[in-house]
Amino acid sequence: MKEQLIQEALEARKAAYVPYSGFKVGAALLAGGKIYRGCNVENASYGLTNCAERTAVFKMVSEGHQRIEAIAVTADTDGPVSPCGACRQVLAEFCEAGTKIYLTNLHGNTEEWTMEKLLPGAFRGTDMTRQG
Ligand X SMILES: O=c1ccn([C@H]2C[C@H](O)[C@@H](CO)O2)c(=O)[nH]1
Site residues (vs Zn ion, CB under 5 A): 51, 84, 87
> Between residues 52 and 115, which has the closer beta carbon with respect to ligand X?
52
The Cα–Cα gap between 109 and 61 comes to 29
Catalytic site residue from 3, 11, 53, 112: 53
CA 104 from chain center: how many Å?
A: 12
Known binding residue 56? Answer is no
Known binding residue 87? Answer is yes
Q: Which of residues 59-78 bind ligand X (CB under 6 A)?
A: none
Least distance in Å: CB of 99 to Zn ion?
17
Q: Judge whether 53 counts as a catalytic residue.
A: yes
- Which residue type sits at 82? S
Q: What does 50-73 look like in DSSP terms, one character per residue?
A: B-HHHHHHHHHHHTT----SEEEE
> Between residues 82 and 126, which has the closer beta carbon with respect to Zn ion?
82
Contact 15, 29 (CB under 8 A): no
The Cα–Cα gap between 18 and 32 comes to 30
Number of other CB atoms surrounding residue 97 within 10 Å: 12
Name the binder of 26 from Zn ion, ligand X, none, CB < 5-8 A by kind. Answer: none
Q: Which residues bind ligand X (CB under 6 A)?
A: 18, 21, 23, 25, 40, 42, 49, 51-53, 81, 83-84, 87
Please enumerate, by residue number, every residue annotated as part of a binding site: 40-46, 51, 84, 87
